Structure 1
Amino acid sequence: MVVYTVTGNVGEAGYLDIANSGDITGKNIYVNMTNRCPCSCVFCLRQTKKMMEGNSLWLKGGEPSVENVLGIFAKYDLSVINELVFCGYGEPLERLHDVCKVIDELKTKYPKLKIRLNTNGLANLIHGEDITPQLEGRFDTVSISMNAPTAEEFLELTRSRFGIKSFDALKEFAALAKFHVPNVIMTVVEKVMPEEKIEQCRKICNELGVTLRVRPFES
């Protein structure tokens, strides 16, 4: 699925193609543009759950073009939705420039559209430069998967291809994003780590001046 909503139990009956979502008024609409990701997190649904054929976010037909994504949106009135969220099974900022193209086009018609990015925070490593200025004016919220309080534990959990430097890069990304995005959040997943480590993550977020959100674990 490229564009979808979430309802019910995620990973079971929870992902609905926008074409099957009925009235989208007040809903969050999710955009899935790539399978690519530099991480292979041990708790990711990609690793832990085989999804039903008609309920999978894996893009078997390859990455959708910008035109294809915009063509899907052209069928709907996005002024009635709550929020547009770029996420999916892959890391959205693997396709940074295409994501920006989609947003810029949508903003011409819906200038007040609320847009969130769910990211692993490693885009600067992916692209070899600071890309956070490109988030400005496009995203209202950036939600970064933190997942651990130390570089060693982060690497053990995420198995990032960038190695031990990934955690510092993630923190730097959060600090830089604050200058360009109104709301920067870092997230951890409950039950993946003990409460004392969650509190360590909270302390790091406080030092960075961003908000920590504890996400529910999807079993």
Structure 2
Amino acid sequence: MIVYATHAGGKYLPLEESLRVQPEGRRNLYVNITNRCNCACTFCLRTMKHMAEQSTLWLKREPTVAEVERALDEVPWEYIKEVVFCGFGEPTMRLDDLLTLLHYVKKTHPDLPTRLNTNGLGELENGRVFAADFKGILDTVSISLNASNAQRYYELTRAKFGEKSYEAMLTFAEHCKPYVPHVVLTIVDHVEGPDEIARCKAICEQRGLTLRVRPYEDS
């Protein structure tokens, strides 16, 4: 699926089915543009290839920008409250296309908030600082913090850039602060215990960032 909605129990549903299940109320629109990721997190479904390919989010091929725009044009926008770029892979693996699509959403639906869910390694992946490109087109960036130190972060994420990924991720969050109104770091509940979560909260407080504890979903 290129665009989808989420429902209780970690279900990913096409919008038509989402509206049958829940005909009333507005919901988030998720935009899925790639399977590729520069992490292989131990708690992620995509690490189990046979399960990943059975997921409705697994793309047989990456959609073109035009194909994503056509999918967006067909959305029943009266039911949408936020547009979130978050699929089976890491959206910043397609940075230029991501920026183009964010511009498209803001041009066609300027009043809807936009969000990017990311591992925060886009600067390492693309070899440049690009947070300023988000100005005016991105309202929230949600970055996976995952751990309170570089060693534990690498153990969990197995990021292709090694332990330097941790500081790069935090630096990316700080780069976003002047350009993105809401910068949020996340950690997954049940993957780490309360002591580790407390340490993560302290790190975010020191850097003026917000931490959100995400519920673990195994579906």
Q: Report the TM-score when normalising by structure 1.
A: 0.92
- What is the CA distance between 1:17 and its match in structure 2? 1.4
Residues in 1 aligned to 2:6 and 2:76: alpha-carbon distance in whole angstroms: 18
**1:169, 1:24 → 2: CA distance?**
42
Question: Percent identity, aligned pairs only?
Answer: 43
Secondary structure of the corresponding residue to residue 50 of structure 1: helix
User: What is the deviation of 1:150?
Assistant: 0.3
SS at match of 2:88: coil
Q: Which deviations, in whole Å up to 9, do the C-alpha atoms of 1:96-150 show, x marking residues without a partner?
A: 1111111212222211121010000000001111011111111110000010000
Q: How many residues align?
A: 214
1:174·1:208 contact (CA, 8 Å) conserved in 2?
Answer: no
1:121 and 1:144 in contact (8 A); partners too: yes
Instruction: After superposing the two structures, state which structure 1 stretch, 73-82 or 174-183, moved more.
Output: 73-82
Matched with 1:139 is: 138
Query: Partner of 1:107: helix, strand, or coil?
Result: helix
Structure 1 residue 148 and structure 2 residue 147: aligned? yes
Q: Distance in 2 between matches of 1:38 and 1:176?
A: 20
Write the mapping of 1:72-91 to structure 2, written as runs, cut at 5 A: 72-91=71-90
Q: CA deviation at 1:51?
A: 5.8
User: Matched residues in 2 for 1:52 and 1:75: separation?
Assistant: 26
Shift of 1:50: 2.0
Partner of 2:156: 157
The offset of 1:27, in angstroms, is: 0.4
Flag as ranges the 4+ runs of structure 1 deviating above 3 A. none
Structure 2 Cα separation of the partners of residues 100 and 158 of structure 1:
25
Which residue in the other structure is 1:50 paired with?
Answer: 51
Residue number in structure 1 paired with 2:189: 190
Preserved contact between residue 52 and residue 58 of structure 2 (Cα < 8 Å): no
Tell me the TM-score normalized by structure 2.
0.92
The gaps in structure 1 that reach 5 residues or longer are: none
